[in-house]
């Protein structure tokens, strides 16, 4: 398929570019004075576009001031054709163009200049057409068509002709489809042109040459390019992918470092390493003629040994670093640079740096780390980021060394694993296990010892010593890892679940696996997992107290051992639900309404809370209604009646009508015959479960009243029970704007728990996969697998129903589900007014510190030291430069709320007790208020509490749905993980929405409604150029906030759903 | 199925100008009686677009409400409002307003350009129901093949120009996501600008986009239709066409599929286009190419100009599932003429309602 804008490729990007670039602004063309509305629009657009977008870039700004290159035609058209957001800054044009050339310019991502993609071909053709139009526009840069009779030349360039003779009835039609496509796709104002032709009025359209800033001087790029031909830089980038990649790589390096590299080794010597520089160059940092290395001064000698050059000679150091081991040393350097300094200290201490690298490198350096379109598996950076270093300076080992030696030796499919298994057999050194993990991080496999180590470490993290995983539990978890690993994240989130509870889960799950009847097994898996899902919700909401977690958990799971029939399953499901209810409300009998009320949130003591709880309950009921699920009350009443009949009692008068309710569900009216389904849906249309339910005729059994059949009849209720319980889970995690949950009544019923439909074989306990998407005859998309990661997967399903506000917006396949998950999973029942206000004050205090840092060099240094831990050198340098040059007011709106929050939290941690007078004589207004609030409510204002209540889940990074604010640098994208790790680094939304609610006077409970609504609106507004375009995400968030503020201003009563917000 | 109250609570699906008139009279009647025995219920009004043609396909006009027999699940229904083509609505709560008798209008004879944006019936001063036309344009990569994108765009522009004067048009496009290019407006020029502003996309999620478009259409009063310009196939939708078709039927929105022979290369696409349009009372057209859509445009224009808009409040019906609708002509006319309309609907849950009206007891 030809794909001019294969947007899916956009989602999988390759590098990190968080920040806006230097301050040089696009030179304005001098448009001729004209009375044409189109021209005015163009000018307005250009003015908006040229607003300052970024902080300055420091040393390099002066070096390159005034260096710009031309692009023919309006920038708006070029950006459309290049697949770039209309909202980017001029400085970003060439870097992001280069990125798109690298990522989607060539079908196989290889630098084959003779095999461009359709995207690149169209872009080249567009430039040719733009140059023709530029010629027509002449020196004044304005296309003028005095009358319809003079339109032929322009029409010819555009690929159109007149349908009728000039006059009121004329219009245009395509004469040259290729040209016409470019005309439309580039946004030429054809409709205005047609209007003018019909009206017989002159058509005037500003068609200026656009000038955009270039890194270094344009001329310097030509010697680096093959052929060395003199042409415009934009043509060179479009022609030569190697130059484009080098340009993209350098654009993400800070200005001072870039300036140093310009001198030594220079562009030509860097060119061969463009791919390594692209993936692993953004942490290179040269300051005052010296390379900054992870571990600081103390690690310089070790780095000199590894690289073969001293950090004092940065040009040589960089060249050798990039060249060493085909780039693997650069991978190591980059990963280590991105972790916090405290973490770096462990890895760079006393010889570890070299032997860890030796383990990481291994004996084979192929394939190179730049072989694929994306960085290899993120195992290394996850290991460095998540490894838990204990207070004694040693890494934490879940279980003990012996069990890990067994785990390593047991991996017969991995030579590395076996080798390290032998090495660690008699070792008690945790470092040796870390060595093994470094070696395994090159393997790029899922489900290996490294993934076990990372996951078990997360489960153990923050557990008290006596509650940590025992060697036996580690052994058990490892033995069952391949089948159940996606379920283990529960134990990372609910850390009070002890070793016995973990074992109980595995016992119950394995018991279900042993059920021979496939259909019964699938129903059993669905019922048990649904109850486990409901337990998680109630435990997370605090309705099952922590003290009861283990008891409640184990009693909930106990009924699932030894299931042999449908009747037993139904009884087990109900008993299990009763135990779940007992943990929350102290009784085992619970109605559907009571259960929904529980899920909707804890009992509230005020009107706002009560209203919100009712609203959420209503939403759950709406999903159950639209999925046409049988009520739990009906099922339980039928169970009771059937039991009574089995005991010889009379048939209850309600029993037959209740049995009739089971038959009320109707399949959607078919559009296809059975044969067509078979032919067109390729096995994707699987409604066995639903069909079986529709054939259930309990009324007949009741009417017959045969004892044997009555006894077994409860079993017919089990599939219905499964659907309703699963439906409650789906309903609870309904993403904002969901459509499948309301319009596809088979969605819940079609959840395939059998695991048979997945491509990797039996994945019954794994995160569900999506099937049937785009399969017209498949009956709609459905999930196959377990209920693990359900909030995220549902968000994946529903995200495409969000309608982007910007025509060419990119809705990111991985970012948006994370944003939606972070909006849906947190509930705000326990948030106090103090907490809500504290979140505001933290952010304001961070802003005050930034402002104050503008006028105080020492404070600026402190502030930048804190912030540098969370950002790449380029962004850090830009912020520092802006503060230093008195542009703090520009910086503040461009800071992420998570950054200002972190800044004030960390500054307070360091100095709250004793302000450094030479840096900050006194707190600002917000800082003072925060100090006061902290004195009065220290627990509510603590980082720990606010992190729990306003953080977001990180199921990929922390392997847990526990909410937390991270203090790490944003991750780039990786092979396999795509951009999910990256997306989880975005934890600004909830902080921002909370501040908005606080400043506008909304109580915290309304966040239960506002956060999903605002997040959905924000997604609609995202107009990004690539997945790591945090600037675009921030802009969308701020625009949404402003819109909300405006609606509040015009609607001071604070209606439940302010205008502008989606329902 | 969740246990519900004995009295069925249903929402009003759509209320045209005429429908609102009808429902407001009912509400007024209740207030006037002050009868405590009145049971207030929210009742769905069912609105049908009915095309009546002879054996040659010519539209039959001039029929009166008495000529139509509507049955829902074998339960005879009483027509509440009646409207022919672009004429004024008749409120049948009052005295009957007979028509002059059937007349034949050849296909292509519709002259919609002569109408104003909201034509007024001079005889009684009441406004005709505005027709809301939602145009949905496929901008996926499938339309990029053979540059069908630009030719289809020309065709849409031509279609919009050809229905100038006929009430309101919205223009949406889609690839993987929907894009609401131009909201519903009577300003044709604004719509044309929206058409020329579309850009080529990537994957195709027609049924997702159609679902969202139908929901927008369902919020409008009066007659509405969705016209899709696509060659299919769909490779990205989550929701299946069955659900979309049911929603269209429940909302009373006919779907017209405008396509080319290329769509027939994909059997499933061709089948769905034909069936989903037929089930909703619309039609599917497969022209030789995008430049050759005159037949489709004429047919759609004719339909919109000559459809009867007939509505009724359902008689008590315990069926909470699919309700079959049969529309016939009374007497000899049943043998002479052919009827095309949707064949049923599924009552929507209350939270999906587009509005509500209060009906007297017994309804």
ipTM: 0.90
* Minimal Cβ distance to A800: which of B176, B189, B233: B176
Q: Is A174 within 8 Å of B154 when comparing Cβ atoms?
A: yes
CATH label of the domain that carries residue B154: 3.40.50.410
**CA–CA min distance B268, chain A (Å):** 7
The mean pLDDT of chain A is 89
Whether the pLDDT of residue A954 is over 60: the answer is yes
Based on the fold, state whether residues B250 and B154 are members of the same structural domain: yes
Q: How far is B88 from chain A (nearest CA, A)?
A: 30
Enumerate the residues of chain A whose CB falls inside 8 A of the CB of residue B267: 680
| Number of alpha carbons in the 13 Å side-chain half-sphere of residue A742 | 23
The pLDDT value recorded for residue A13 is 27
pLDDT at B61: 87
The mean per-residue pLDDT over the stretch A177-199 comes to 95
Number of domain units in chain B: 2
The shortest C-alpha distance from B12 to chain A (Å) reads 17
In percent, how much of chain A has pLDDT > 90?
A: 75
Residue B280 placed within a domain: yes
* Closest CA–CA distance from residue A808 to any residue of chain B (Å): 8
Interface mutation target, options B138, B160, B219, B242, chain A, most CBs of A under 10 Å:
B242
Q: How confident is the model at residue A1048 (pLDDT cuts 50, 70, 90)?
A: confident
pLDDT over threshold 90, residue A420 = no
B137, B199: one domain: yes
> How crowded is residue A241: how many other Cβ atoms within 10 Å of its Cβ?
23
The pair of structure tokens assigned to A33 is 């004075």
| E strand or H helix at A405 | helix A401-409
| Residues of A with Cβ-Cβ distance to B238 under 8 angstroms | 739-740, 744, 773, 780-781, 797-798, 800-801
The nearest alpha carbon in chain A to B201 belongs to: A5
- The nearest alpha carbon in chain B to A808 belongs to B199
> Which pLDDT does position B278 carry in this prediction?
94
At residue B301, the pLDDT reads 87
B239/A781 Cβ within 8 A: yes
Q: Which of B157, B197, B200 sits opposite A5 (nearest CB)?
A: B200
Residues B173 and B296 in one domain: yes
Residues in B touching A745 (Cβ below 8 Å): 243
Choose one of B286, B305, B324: the last residue of a domain. B305
Residue A21: its pLDDT value, please? 27
> A114-128, A243-257, B18-32, B204-218: which has the minimum mean pLDDT?
B18-32
Q: Which residues face A974 on adjacent strands?
A: A375, A978
Residues B18 and B37 both lie in one domain: yes
Share of chain B above pLDDT 70, in %: 71
B122 in a structural domain: no
pLDDT at A7: 31
What residues of chain B lie within 8 A of the CB of A6, using their CB?
Answer: 141, 202
Please report which confidence band the pLDDT of residue A759 belongs to, taking 50, 70 and 90 as the band edges.
Answer: low
Q: What is the pLDDT of residue B215?
A: 96
CB contact under 8 A, B205 and A804: no
- Say if residue A862's pLDDT is above 50: yes
- Of B102, B100, B79, nearest to B91 by C-alpha is B79
pLDDT category of residue B89 using cuts at 50, 70 and 90:
low
The confidence score (pLDDT) of residue B2 equals 34
CA distance to partner chain A, nearest, from residue B66 (Å): 31
Give tens-digit pLDDT for A351-377.
Answer: 899 999 999 999 989 889 998 878 888
Share of chain A above pLDDT 70, in %: 90
Q: Give me the pLDDT at residue B181, please.
A: 95
* B129 pLDDT tier (thresholds 50, 70, 90): low
- The contacts found for A402-410 with CB under 8 angstroms, 24 or more apart, are A402/A471, A403/A471, A403/A474, A403/A475, A403/A478, A404/A433, A404/A436, A404/A449, A404/A453, A404/A474, A406/A475, A407/A449, A407/A452, A407/A474, A407/A475, A407/A478, A408/A436, A408/A449, A410/A478
Residue contact B240–A803, C-beta within 8 A:
no
List the single residue in A185, A195, A802 with the smallest CB-CB distance to B199.
A185
Is A801:B174 a contact under the CB 8 Å cutoff? no
Both B193 and B244 in one domain: the answer is: yes
Boundary (domain end) residue, out of B263, B289, B305: B305
What pLDDT, in 10s, does the model give residues A378-408?
899 999 999 999 999 999 999 999 999 999 9
Of residues A1, A626, A807, nearest to B197 (C-beta) = A807
Model confidence at B350, pLDDT cuts 50, 70, 90, reads low
pLDDT tens readout for residues A69-111? 999 999 999 999 999 999 899 999 999 999 999 989 988 765 5
- What would the mean pLDDT of A226-236 be, rounded to a whole number? 78
Model pTM score: 0.89
In a domain, residue B94? The reply is no
Shared domain for B213 and B247, answered yes or no, is yes
- What is the predicted pLDDT for the residue at A11? 29
Per-residue confidence (pLDDT) for residue B162, from 0 to 100: 87
Residues of B within 8 A of A7 (CB-CB) are 176, 201-203
- Residue A693: its pLDDT value, please? 87
Cβ distance A629 to B157 less than 8 Å, yes or no, reads no
Section A984-994 average pLDDT = 95
Residue with tokens 């200005």: A255
- pLDDT (0 to 100) of residue A224: 62
- Shortest distance between the Cα of A533 and any Cα of chain B, in A, equals 22
Question: Which of A64-68, A854-858, A978-982 has the weakest average pLDDT?
Answer: A64-68
CA distance B111 to B301: 9
| pLDDT value, residue B159 | 93
pLDDT score for A636: 97
Contact B2 A195 (CB under 8 A): no
Rounded CA separation A272/A327 (Å)? 12
Residues 6+ apart with CB under 8 A from A704: none
pLDDT higher for A386 or A975?
A386
B chain contacts of residue A104, beta-carbon cutoff 8 Å: none
* CA-based nearest distance A715→chain B, Å: 18
Residue in B with minimal Cα distance to A159: B150
Dist. CA A676–CA A684, nearest whole Å: 12
Same domain as B312, residue B271: no
Say if the Cβ atoms of B208 and A177 lie within 8 Å: no
Which residues of chain B neighbour A777 with C-beta distances below 8 Å? Answer: 240, 268
Contact pairs from chain A to chain B, CB under 8 Å: 201
Please give the pLDDT value at position A457: 97
- Closest-CA residue of B relative to A624 is B2
Of A4, A191, A774, Cβ closest to residue B144? A4
CA separation (Å) from A829 to A542, A601, A621, A708, A1008?
A: 10, 7, 20, 49, 8
Mean local confidence (pLDDT), B235-239: 96
Average pLDDT, chain B: 77
Q: How far is B79 from chain A (nearest CA, A)?
A: 26
Q: Which residue has the higher pLDDT, B124 or A652?
A: A652
Return the residue of B nearest to A747 by Cα: B239
**Is B205 found in the same domain as B220?**
yes
pLDDT at B116: 31
Predicted confidence (pLDDT) per residue in B110-120, tens digit: 443 333 333 33
pLDDT score for B106: 58
Higher pLDDT, A420 or A594: A594
CA angle B346, B347, B349 (to 5 degrees): 125
Read off the pLDDT of residues A761-810 as tens digits, 9 standing for 90 and up.
678 999 999 999 999 999 999 999 999 999 999 999 999 999 999 865 56
Residue of chain A with shortest Cα separation from B149: A181
Q: Report the pLDDT averaged over residues B157-180.
A: 89
Q: Which residues of A touch B176 (CB under 8 A)?
A: 7, 800, 811
Q: Which residue has the higher pLDDT, A324 or B22?
A: A324
- Checking DSSP bridges between strand A952-954 and strand A960-964, what pairing results, if any? antiparallel
- For residue A706, name the pLDDT band (cuts at 50, 70, 90): confident
Pick the last residue of a domain from B264, B285, B305.
B305
Q: How distant, in Å, are the alpha carbons of A262, A558, A576, A713 from that of A565?
A: 75, 16, 16, 11
From CA A129, how far away is CA A182, in angstroms rounded? 8
Q: What is the pLDDT of residues A825-857, one digit of tens each?
A: 999 999 999 999 999 999 999 999 999 999 999
- Nearest-by-Cβ selection for B237 from A7, A625, A774: A774
Categorize the per-residue pLDDT at A3 as very low, low, confident or very high, splitting at 50, 70 and 90. Answer: very low
User: Does the distance separating the beta carbons of B141 and A739 come in below 8 Å?
Assistant: no
Q: What band does A30 get if pLDDT is binned at 50, 70 and 90?
A: very low
Q: Which of A209-223, B62-76, B102-116 has the lowest mean pLDDT?
A: B102-116
To the nearest whole Å, the CA of A83 is away from the closest chain B CA by: 11
Say what the pLDDT of residue A1058 is. 40
pLDDT at B270 (0 to 100): 96
Task: Give contacts of B321 with chain A, Cβ < 8 Å.
Answer: 664, 666
Q: What is the pLDDT of residue B44?
A: 72
Give residue B76's domain range. Answer: 1-83+308-363
Which range of A20-34, A922-936, B7-21 scores highest in mean pLDDT? It is A922-936
Q: What is the pLDDT of residues B3-36, one digit of tens each?
A: 322 223 233 333 333 332 222 222 222 333 333 3
* Residues of chain B contacting residue A1, judged by C-beta atoms under 8 Å apart: 141
Chain segment A544-586, per-residue pLDDT in tens:
999 999 999 999 999 999 899 999 999 999 999 999 999 999 9
Name chain B contacts of A192, Cβ cutoff 8 Å.
193
Q: From CA A693, how far away is CA A663, in angstroms rounded?
A: 8
State whether B258 and B324 are in the same domain: no
In this prediction, residues A455-462 reach a mean pLDDT of 95
Residues B239 and B159 in one domain: yes
Higher pLDDT, B202 or A999: A999
Q: What is the pLDDT of residue B333?
A: 79
Highest mean pLDDT among A219-223, A629-633, B344-348: A629-633
Distance CA A455, CA A481 (A): 10
Is there a domain that residue B113 lies in? no
**Which residue in A12, A158, A167, A174 has the most chain B C-beta atoms within 10 A of its own C-beta, making it the best mutation to test that interface?**
A174
User: Cβ B199–A622 below 8 Å, yes or no?
Assistant: no
Residue B277 shares a structural domain with residue B312: no
Q: Does B301 share its domain with B319?
A: no
- Min Cα separation B59/chain A (Å): 28
Q: Please check the confidence at residue A712 and state whether its pLDDT lies above 50.
A: yes
Q: Does residue A31 or residue B324 have the better pLDDT?
A: B324
Select the residue of B158, B202, B240 nearest A778 (Cβ to Cβ). Answer: B240
Chain B residues inside the 8 Å CB shell of A626: 349, 352
| Residue in A177, A624, A807 nearest the CB of B151 | A177
Nearest to B147 among A178, A670, A745 (CB): A178
CB contacts, 8 Å: B201 with chain A: 5, 7
CB nearest to B275's CB, from A4, A671, A798: A671
User: B103 lies in a domain?
Assistant: no
Q: For testing the chain B interface, which of A637, A800, A1021 should be mutated: the one with the most B CBs within 10 Å?
A: A800
In the predicted model, is pLDDT for residue A53 greater than 80?
no
What are the DSSP calls for A3-64, one per residue?
-TT-HHHHHS--S---S---S--PPPP-PPP---HHHHHHHHHHHHHTS--S---THHHHHH
């Amino acid at each position: 398929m030809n794909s001019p804008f294969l947007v899916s490729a956009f989602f999988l990007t390759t590098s990190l570019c968080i920040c806006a670039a230097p301050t040089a602004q696009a030179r304005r063309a001098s448009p001729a004075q004209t009375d044409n509305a189109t021209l005015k629009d163009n000018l307005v657009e250009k003015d908006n576009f040229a607003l300052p977008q970024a902080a300055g870039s420091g040393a390099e700004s002066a070096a390159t001031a005034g260096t710009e290159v031309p692009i023919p035609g309006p920038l708006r058209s070029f950006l459309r054709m290049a697949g770039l957001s209309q909202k980017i800054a001029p400085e970003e044009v060439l870097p992001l163009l280069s990125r798109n050339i690298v990522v989607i310019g060539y079908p196989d991502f290889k630098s084959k200049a003779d095999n461009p993609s359709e995207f690149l071909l169209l872009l080249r053709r567009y430039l040719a057409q733009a140059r023709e139009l530029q010629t027509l526009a002449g020196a004044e840069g304005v296309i003028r068509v005095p009358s319809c009779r003079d339109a032929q030349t322009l029409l010819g360039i555009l690929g159109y002709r007149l349908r009728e003779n000039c006059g009121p009835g004329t219009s245009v039609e395509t004469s040259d489809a290729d040209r016409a496509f470019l005309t439309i796709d580039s946004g030429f104002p054809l409709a205005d042109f047609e209007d003018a032709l019909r009206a017989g009025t002159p058509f005037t359209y500003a068609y200026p040459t656009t000038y955009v800033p270039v890194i270094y001087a344009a001329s310097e790029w030509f010697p680096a390019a093959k052929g060395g031909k003199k042409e415009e830089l934009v043509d060179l980038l479009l022609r030569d992918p190697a130059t484009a990649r080098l340009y993209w790589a350098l654009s993400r390096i800070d200005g001072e470092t870039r300036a140093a590299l310009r001198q030594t080794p220079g562009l030509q010597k860097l060119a061969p390493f463009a791919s390594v520089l692209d993936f692993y160059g953004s942490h290179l940092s040269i300051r005052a003629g010296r390379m900054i290395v992870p571990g600081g001064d103390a690690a310089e000698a070790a780095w000199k040994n590894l690289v073969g050059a001293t950090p004092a000679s940065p040009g040589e150091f960089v060249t050798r670093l990039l060249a060493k081991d085909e780039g693997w040393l650069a991978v190591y350097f980059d990963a280590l640079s991105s972790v916090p300094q405290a973490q770096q200290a462990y890895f760079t201490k006393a010889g570890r740096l070299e032997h860890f690298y030796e383990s990481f490198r291994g004996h084979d350096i192929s394939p190179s780390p730049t072989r694929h379109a994306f960085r290899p598996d993120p195992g290394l950076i996850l290991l460095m980021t998540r490894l838990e270093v204990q207070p004694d300076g040693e890494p934490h080992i879940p279980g003990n060394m012996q069990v890990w030696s067994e785990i390593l030796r047991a991996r017969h499919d991995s030579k590395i694993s076996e080798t390290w298994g032998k090495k660690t057999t008699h070792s008690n050194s945790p470092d040796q296990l870390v060595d093994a993990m470094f070696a395994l991080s090159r393997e790029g496999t899922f489900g290996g010892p490294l993934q076990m180590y990372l996951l078990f470490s997360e489960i153990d993290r923050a557990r008290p010593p006596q509650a940590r995983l025992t060697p036996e539990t580690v052994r058990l978890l490892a033995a069952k890892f391949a089948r159940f690993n996606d379920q283990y994240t529960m134990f990372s989130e609910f850390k009070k679940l002890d070793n016995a509870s973990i074992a109980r889960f595995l016992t119950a799950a394995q018991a279900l696996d042993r059920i021979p009847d496939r259909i019964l097994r699938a129903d059993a898996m669905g019922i048990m997992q649904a109850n486990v899902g409901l337990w998680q919700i109630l435990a997370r909401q605090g309705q099952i107290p922590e003290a009861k977690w283990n008891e409640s958990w184990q009693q909930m799971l106990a009924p699932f051992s030894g299931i042999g029939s449908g009747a037993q399953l139904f009884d087990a499901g109900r008993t299990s639900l009763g135990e779940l209810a007992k943990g929350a409300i102290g009784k085992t009998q619970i109605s559907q309404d009571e259960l929904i009320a529980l899920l909707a949130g804890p009992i509230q003591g005020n009107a706002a809370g009560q209203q919100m709880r009712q609203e959420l309950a209503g939403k759950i009921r709406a999903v159950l209604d639209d999925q046409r699920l049988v009520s739990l009350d009906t099922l339980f009443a039928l169970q009771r009646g059937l039991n009574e009949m089995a005991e010889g009692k009379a048939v209850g008068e309600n029993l037959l009508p209740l049995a009739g309710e089971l038959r009320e569900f109707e399949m959607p009216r078919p559009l296809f015959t059975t044969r067509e389904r078979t032919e067109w849906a390729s096995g994707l249309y699987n409604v066995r479960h639903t069909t079986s339910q529709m054939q259930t005729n309990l009324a007949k059994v009741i009417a017959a009243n045969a004892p044997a059949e009555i006894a077994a009849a409860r079993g017919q209720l089990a599939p219905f029970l499964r659907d309703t319980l699963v439906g409650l889970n789906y309903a609870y995690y309904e993403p904002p704007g969901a459509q499948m949950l309301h319009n596809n009544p088979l969605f819940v019923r079609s959840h395939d728990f059998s695991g048979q439909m997945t491509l990797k074989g039996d994945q019954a306990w794994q995160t569900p996969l999506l099937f049937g998407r785009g399969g017209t005859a498949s009956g709609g998309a459905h999930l196959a697998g377990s209920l693990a990661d359900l909030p995220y997967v549902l968000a994946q399903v529903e995200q495409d129903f969000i309608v982007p506000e910007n025509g060419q917006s990119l809705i990111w396949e991985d970012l948006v589900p994370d944003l939606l998950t972070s909006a849906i999973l947190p509930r705000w029942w326990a948030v106090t007014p103090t907490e809500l206000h504290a979140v505001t004050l933290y952010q304001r205090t961070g802003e005050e510190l930034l402002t104050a840092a503008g006028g105080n060099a020492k404070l600026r240094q402190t502030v930048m030291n804190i912030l540098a831990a969370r950002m790449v050198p380029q962004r850090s340098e830009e912020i520092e430069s802006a503060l230093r040059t008195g542009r703090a007011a520009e910086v503040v709106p461009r800071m992420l709320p998570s950054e200002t929050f972190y800044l004030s939290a960390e500054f307070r941690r360091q100095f709250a007790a004793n302000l450094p007078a030479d840096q900050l004589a006194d707190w600002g207004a917000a800082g003072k208020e925060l100090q006061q609030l902290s004195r009065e409510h220290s627990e509510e204002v603590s980082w720990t509490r606010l992190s729990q209540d306003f953080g977001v889940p990180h199921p990929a990074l922390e392997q847990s749905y526990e909410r937390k604010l991270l203090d790490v640098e944003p991750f780039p994208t990786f092979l396999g993980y795509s951009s999910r790790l990256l997306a989880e680094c975005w934890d600004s939304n909830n902080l921002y929405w909370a501040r908005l609610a606080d400043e506008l006077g909304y109580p915290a409970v309304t966040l239960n409604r506002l956060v999903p609504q605002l997040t959905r609106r924000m997604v609609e507004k995202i107009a990004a150029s690539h997945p790591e375009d945090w600037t675009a995400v921030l802009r969308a968030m701020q625009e949404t906030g402003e819109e909300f503020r405006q609606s509040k201003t015009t609607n001071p009563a604070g209606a439940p759903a302010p205008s502008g917000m989606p329902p | 199925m969740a246990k519900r109250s004995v009295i069925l609570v249903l929402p009003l699906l759509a209320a045209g100008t005429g429908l609102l008139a009808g429902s407001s009279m009912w509400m007024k009647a209740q207030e006037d009686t002050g009868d405590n025995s009145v049971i207030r219920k929210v009742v769905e009004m069912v609105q049908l677009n009915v095309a009546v043609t002879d054996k040659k396909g010519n539209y039959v006009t001039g029929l009166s409400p008495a000529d139509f027999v509507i049955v829902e699940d074998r339960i005879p229904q009483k027509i509440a409002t009646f409207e022919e083509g672009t004429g004024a609505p008749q409120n049948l709560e009052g005295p009957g307003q007979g028509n002059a008798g059937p007349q034949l209008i050849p296909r292509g004879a519709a002259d919609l350009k002569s109408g104003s944006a909201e034509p007024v019936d001079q005889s009684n001063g009441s406004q005709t129901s505005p027709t809301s036309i939602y145009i949905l344009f496929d901008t996926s990569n499938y339309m990029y093949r053979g540059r069908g994108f630009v030719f289809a765009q020309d065709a849409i522009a031509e279609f919009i120009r050809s229905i100038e004067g006929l009430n309101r048009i919205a223009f949406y496009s889609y690839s993987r996501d929907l894009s609401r290019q131009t909201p519903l407006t009577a300003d044709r020029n604004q719509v044309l600008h929206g058409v020329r502003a579309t850009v080529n996309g990537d994957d195709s999620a027609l049924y997702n986009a159609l679902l969202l478009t139908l929901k927008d259409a369902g919020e409008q009063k009066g007659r509405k239709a969705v016209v899709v310009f696509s060659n299919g196939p769909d490779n990205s939708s989550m929701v299946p066409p069955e659900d979309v078709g049911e929603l269209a039927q429940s909302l009373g929105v006919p779907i017209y599929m405008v396509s080319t022979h290329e769509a027939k290369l994909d059997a499933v696409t061709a089948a769905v286009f034909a069936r989903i349009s037929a089930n909703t009372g619309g039609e599917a057209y497969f022209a030789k190419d995008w430049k050759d859509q005159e037949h489709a445009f004429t047919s759609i224009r004719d339909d919109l100009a000559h459809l009867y808009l007939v509505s009724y409040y359902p008689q008590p019906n315990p069926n909470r599932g699919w309700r079959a609708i049969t529309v016939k002509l009374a007497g000899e006319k049943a043998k002479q003429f052919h009827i095309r309309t949707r064949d049923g609907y599924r009552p929507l849950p209350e939270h999906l309602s587009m509005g509500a009206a209060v009906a007297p007891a017994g309804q």
